[in-house]
Structure 1
Amino acid sequence: MEEKYILSLDIGTTTIRSYIYNSRAEVVGKAVDQVKLEYPSHGFVEINPDQLWTSIVEVVKKSWQDAGLSAGQMTALGISTQRSTFITWSRSTGKPFHHFITWKDMRADKLVKQWNDSFIFKLFKAGAYTLYLLLRSKRFKAGSSLKFMNTQTTVRLSWALQNIAALKDAAHKGDAMFGTLDTWLLYKLTAGKLHVTDASSASATGFFDPFTLQWAGWCTSLFRIPVDSLPTVVDTAGDHFTHTDKSVWGHEIPIRCCMADQTASIWGSCCFNEGDVKLTMGTGTFFNINTGTSPHCSVAGLYPLIGWRLGDEVQYVAEGAINDTATVIKWAQNLGLFDKPEDTAAIANSVPDSDGVCFIPAFSGLGPPYNDGTAASGFIGMKPTTTRAHLVRATLESLAFRTRQLHACAVAETNYEFHTIR
C-alpha cells in the first residue's frame, strides 16, 4: 500500500513549525523558523505579513526537504494558528492596510479602560443581569460579568478602524476584509478564494457569541465593526477548506483542518471528555478545561471558548490565561539575572527560598481571578540580604503561583475535580 503523508503547520507567537507525519503518525520531516515580532511604538506588537508569508512558505519547503518528499506526496494539510492576532486588507486589491496587530499588543489599552468604565457598557451589563434574573439564561449571566481585555480582538480592531485612515475609508466603501491569522493564511493559500475562519478561532476574538454561534450583533454595532468585512465561520475540519493553490508550492494540497492553537493543543492532548484539562506554558500560560457541550458561564474570568465544531458536534472550553510567561523570562534574561533560561533552575535551587521576595508577573495586567488590566509588574519584599538567586527564584515562583491561582479559580467556578493535568 502506498504510504500517505500529512503536512502539519503551526504558526504560534514565536515560532513557525512544519511537521510531516506518515500513516503511522511518525514524524518523517520537520522544520522550524522564528516569528519576527516588531515593536514600532510603545505597547505596539506587530508582525509583517509579507515577511511572515515568506517564512511560512519556506519552512514548509524545508520540512519536505528534511523528509525527502515533495508537495505532490502530501495527502492533507492541517493548520493551527495563534489566536486574536488580526489583519485587515482590501477586498479589491488584496493588499493589507497595516501589519498584523498581535494578541500581545497594548495600543488600545486606553480604549479598553474607557469602555469598561463607560456608562453604556455598565448599562449593558445591568440589562444582561436583569434578563438573567428573569430567564435564568447562562448567556445573560455571562454578559453581566463581561469585561473587555487587550488580548481580545474587539477593542484593538475598533482602534484600527478609528486610527488607520485607509482602513476607515475602505470600511466605509465596503472594501475592507477582516481576518485573524488563520483567515488571512487560508486566503493566501487559496489565492483569495476563501474568506473563512473556524469556530474555535472566531470564539477567541471577543465578538463571536459562543452561545448563539454567530458574530455578536450587539458588539459589532457597539464598536461599528462592518459585518460585511467579517469571514464566514465554518467547521474546524472538513473539505470546505478546499486546497492550496498551485502557485504556492507547485501542487495542490487538500486543506482538511484549521484550528486555534490552544484548542488544537487540547485535541492533541486527548482531552476529549468533559472535565479534562490541559496546561501549556509557552509565550503565555493557558489552563483549558473541556466543558462538554455547554459553554462555561464565568464570573471570575475564565473565558468561554469553542474547542471545535464538527457538524452538529460543538465542544466547549473554559480558559484561564497568564499572558506574560515568556515575556517575564525574557525580561529577566535581558536584565542580566541569568544568561540562558535553562540556567534558572540551578540558580533558583542554590537558595532555600526567595528570602521573602515576591515578583508580580503583570506586564500585560493580571488575568483570572483578578482581571485587572491596570496591574503592573515588580518585585516586592526586597531587602539588603536579597541576592540575584532570590530574584530568579521569585520570578520562577511567580509563574507557578499564578498557575496555581488559575487552578483555584477553575475549581471554584466549576464542579469538576481535576486529578490529572495534561
Structure 2
Amino acid sequence: MTGPVLAVDQGTSGTKALVVCPERGVLGSGYAEVRPRHRPGGLVEADPGELYDSVLAAGRRALAEAGTDVVALGLANQGETVLAWDPATGRPLTDALVWQDRRAEPLCAELDEHAPELRQLTGLPLDPYFAAPKMAWIRRHLTREGVVTTSDAWLVHRLTGAFVTDAATAGRTQLLDLDHVRWSPRALDLYGLAGERLPEITDVAQPIGTTRAFGPEIPLTGLIVDQQAALLAQRLTAPGAAKCTYGTGAFLLAHTGERPRRGGSGLASCVAWRLAGTTSYCLDGQVYTAASAVRWLADLGVIGSAADLDPVGGAVPDSGGVTFVPALAGLAAPWWRGELRGSLTGLGLDTTAGHLVRALCEGVAAQVAELADAAAADLGTPLTTLRVDGGLTRSALLMQTQADLLQRPVEVSALPDATALGAAALARLGTDPALGADEALPPWQPAAVYEPRIPADRAAEHRARFRAAVAALPGS
C-alpha cells in the first residue's frame, strides 16, 4: 500500500503532526501546544486529556492542510512519561508524570544496592528519569487500580483499543530485559511491580490497529519513542555515528549495531528499534534542560524567546566569565546526579543579558560535548561528525558553540521535524513489509555545517571550566 501517511510526534511541550507523501514530501502540518505543570520539589505533571487532545488537534490540522486521505498513521511518544488508567474505559486515573519529574528519588535511593544489577539487566542507570520508578511511585502513593504504563500505551489504546508498546519505548522503562527484549520478572520484582498487567511489546513497524479519531479509518502501523525516531530519520542506521536533538532537553544517541554495548562512560544502553524481529541498539545520553532552560531565561525576562538567543548573545564576544550548568531538572548523563540543581557562576555588576545567553549556550554545548566523548569512549572510536535536529538548531550561536566545544563539525539537519519524519517512515514500513528502511526514509542532507572556529586548547579551557562548575555544585 502506497500513499501519504500521517505522522504524529507527541512531545513534552507540544504535538507536531505531518502528512508525508513519498513522492511529494510534506503536504500538511499541524501543531498543538501542551503545557506541563512544574511544581516545587522537582514535580512535573501533564493532563492526560491535554496530551490526547493535542494529538487529535495536530493530526486534524495536518490532514486539513494536506487535503488528502492517508494510508497509515505513525506515532512517536515522550518515552518515560507515565500514568495509571482504566483499561476498560481508557479513563486516566492519575495525571501523567512527565519524564522530568523527580518525585521517585527516594524510591530509587531504596534500590541503590540493586543499581548495578538493574543496569546490567536493563542497560539503564537507576534514576527517576526512567519510567519504572515513577510507575512504582504511582502504585505506592496514588492508586492500585487499573494499569500503569508509559503514555504511548494509553494513547494507542485510546486511538485503537490495542494494549501495546513498541520495543524502543519499552526499553525506556527499566523493566525490559535488554538482551532478550522482553519484560524482566526480576526488574518487576525489584520495583514492586510483579503481577502488573503490561502491554505487549511490538516491533516499531507493524499493523497495530485502526482508528477513526481523525475521520476516516486509518491503520496505525508505526510506533516509536521520540529520540529513536529522530535517530532513524537522520539515517544513522549503523555503528559509528551520533545525533543530538535539541528540544525540551538535548538528547544524544549513537547507534551500536545489533548487540547492546554496556560501556563505562555514563551513557545508557537501550533499544534503538526492532524491525522485522531484528533489534538494533544505541547509546543514549541526556541534558535534561535545553529549550526548557531557554524558556526559564525568558520567564525571568532576560530574553523574549528562543528567537532572541542570537541577537542578544551576539551583542557580546563571550560569556564574560559566566558559567552555566544546565541542571535545572537535575544533572543527567554522564554524571546521573538527579538530585543536583543548576548553577550560574562568575556573575558581576558588568554581567549583561548577552553574557547570560552565551553562558547558557556554552553550558548546553559543553554537556553535549561530554556526552559525545562518552559515546566515543564506549564505541572505541572518535565521532567524526555530529548530526543535529530540533528547534534550537535554528540558533547559529548555539550550533557554532557546539562545534567549537566539540571540536568536530556539526551538521544541522534540513529536516526540521526529524522525529515526525522518522515516525512517517515507520508507518510506511508497517504497511509494506517488502519496503527497505533506506527506501522509506527521507533523503538526508545538512542545511548547514558548522566547523570549529576556536583552537583545541581554548575549547579544552572552556570545558575544564564547565567540569569544575559541575564539581562545585552543592551536594556534589
Q: TM-score, normalization: structure 2?
A: 0.77
Find the counterpart in structure 2 of residue 262 from structure 1.
Answer: 227
Distance 1:218 1:349, change over 3 A: same
- 1:121 equivalent in alignment to 2:114: yes
Find the counterpart in structure 2 of residue 152 from structure 1.
Answer: 130
Find the counterpart in structure 1 of residue 36 from structure 2.
Answer: 37
Could you say what secondary structure the match of 1:278 adopts? strand
For each residue in 1:205-264, what CA deviation from the matched residue of structure 2 results, as whole angstroms up to 9, or x when unmatched?
12212112111222110111144421111111112x0221x4x23422111110111001
2:340 to 369, 375, 398: 375
Native 8 Å contact 2:326 2:363 kept in 1: yes
- 1:197 equivalent in alignment to 2:165: yes
Find the counterpart in structure 2 of residue 181 from structure 1.
Answer: 151
Native 8 Å contact 2:80 2:173 kept in 1: yes
Of 365-374 and 213-222, the range deviating more from structure 2: 365-374
**1:104 to partner: Cα distance:** 1.1
**1:305 to partner: Cα distance:** 1.2
1:229 to 194, 197, 207: 197
Native 8 Å contact 1:154 1:206 kept in 2: yes
**1:52 to partner: Cα distance:** 2.3
**1:3 to partner: Cα distance:** 7.9
Find the counterpart in structure 2 of residue 27 from structure 1.
Answer: 26
* Larger RCO (alpha carbons 8 Å, 6+ apart): 2
Alpha-carbon distance between aligned partners in 1 of 2:126 and 2:133, rounded to the nearest angstrom: 8
Find the counterpart in structure 1 of residue 61 from structure 2.
Answer: 62
1:161 to 130, 139, 159: 139
RMSD: 2.2
Alignment of 1:274-313 (within 5 A): 274-313=239-278
- 1:11 equivalent in alignment to 2:16: no
2:76 to 80, 85, 89: 80
**Identity score, percent:** 28
Higher gyration radius (CA): 1
For each residue in 1:322-371, what CA deviation from the matched residue of structure 2 results, as whole angstroms up to 9, or x when unmatched?
01112211111112221222222222232222222211111122222222
Distance 1:346 1:227, change over 3 A: same
**1:47 to partner: Cα distance:** 1.8
Of 285-294 and 98-107, the range deviating more from structure 2: 98-107
Distance 1:412 1:364, change over 3 A: same
Alpha-carbon distance between aligned partners in 2 of 1:249 and 1:385, rounded to the nearest angstrom: 55
Could you say what secondary structure the match of 1:8 adopts? strand
Distance 1:98 1:417, change over 3 A: same
Native 8 Å contact 2:44 2:98 kept in 1: yes
**1:105 to partner: Cα distance:** 1.2
**1:48 to partner: Cα distance:** 1.4
Alpha-carbon distance between aligned partners in 2 of 1:154 and 1:275, rounded to the nearest angstrom: 30
Find the counterpart in structure 1 of residue 398 from structure 2.
Answer: none
Native 8 Å contact 2:203 2:277 kept in 1: no
Distance 1:374 1:48, change over 3 A: closer
- List structure 1 runs of 4+ shifted beyond 4 angstroms: 143-146
**1:381 to partner: Cα distance:** 2.0
Find the counterpart in structure 2 of residue 396 from structure 1.
Answer: 361
Native 8 Å contact 1:158 1:224 kept in 2: yes
Find the counterpart in structure 1 of residue 185 from structure 2.
Answer: 217
Distance 1:153 1:141, change over 3 A: closer
Give the number of aligned pairs.
387
5+ long unaligned stretches in structure 1: 129-139, 171-175
Of 39-48 and 357-366, the range deviating more from structure 2: 39-48
Native 8 Å contact 1:307 1:317 kept in 2: yes
Native 8 Å contact 2:15 2:58 kept in 1: yes
The code of the aligned residue for 1:329 comes to V
Alpha-carbon distance between aligned partners in 1 of 2:2 and 2:264, rounded to the nearest angstrom: 50
Find the counterpart in structure 2 of residue 242 from structure 1.
Answer: 209
5+ long unaligned stretches in structure 2: 388-476
Distance 1:90 1:141, change over 3 A: closer
Could you say what secondary structure the match of 1:74 adopts? coil
Of 289-298 and 381-390, the range deviating more from structure 2: 381-390
Alpha-carbon distance between aligned partners in 1 of 2:119 and 2:216, rounded to the nearest angstrom: 50
The code of the aligned residue for 1:55 comes to S
Find the counterpart in structure 1 of residue 331 from structure 2.
Answer: 366
- 1:417 equivalent in alignment to 2:382: yes
Alpha-carbon distance between aligned partners in 2 of 1:238 and 1:30, rounded to the nearest angstrom: 24
Alpha-carbon distance between aligned partners in 2 of 1:403 and 1:60, rounded to the nearest angstrom: 32
The code of the aligned residue for 1:81 comes to N
The code of the aligned residue for 2:226 comes to D
Alpha-carbon distance between aligned partners in 2 of 1:323 and 1:39, rounded to the nearest angstrom: 14
- 1:314 equivalent in alignment to 2:279: yes
The code of the aligned residue for 2:35 comes to K
